[in-house]
Amino acid sequence: MIYPYIKSLHLIFVVTWFAGLFYIPRLFIYHIEAWQKPSPEREILTDQLKLMTKRLWYIITWPSAILCTLFAVWMLILMPSWLQQPWMHVKLGFVLLLFAYHFKCHQIFKQLQRNEVKYTSKFMRIWNEGATLILFAIVFLVILKSAFNWIYGVIGIVVLGILLMLGIKLYKRIRDKNPNA
């Protein structure tokens, strides 16, 4: 009886966690690009971006990750047979990859909060697609479960990655021609 509520809360926090993971690299890009601005514009922008990233990270992204995980564990306690399903093992592998992505974002967040710019905006644009690839993999695994054909799945993720990279290159060309785009 309680399971649908737990599942609903899990999905809500999956959505908000991914929202944070989709937006934080975009703020990193703006922060990195603000460092190229002349003073005082640089200081005004970086101070504002630090505040925005701090609020996003600690008010939305981290709490969502924690609550998503707690409700996922609760679901697994209610449905222990899922832990014997091969698709669940693969899904949990992608969830571990998502946590690695999250922790790397946390490291970048902390660096930028200390005014340490170690990455280019181009790198961040590519990094920004990491959460997208993980989301696609997890959703397809959960929906298709054992019907999932691994060969087509791997090919699909690779094709998606290629399309995302082509999109980044196209955007860069458009942006280089028109800096206001």
Domain count, the chain: 1
- Cite the annotated binding site for heme by residue number: 10, 91
Low pLDDT (below 50) residues in the chain: none
- Examine residue 40 and say whether the peptide bond preceding it is cis (omega within 30 degrees of 0): yes
Predicted pLDDT of residue 6: 97
Please report, in range form, the residues annotated as the binding site.
10, 91
* Distance from the first to the final alpha carbon of the chain: 51
What is the domain range of residue 91? 3-177
Report pLDDT digits (tens) over 85-109: 888 988 899 999 999 999 999 999 9
pLDDT value at position 148? 54
For 147, which DSSP code? G
pTM beyond 0.95: the answer is no
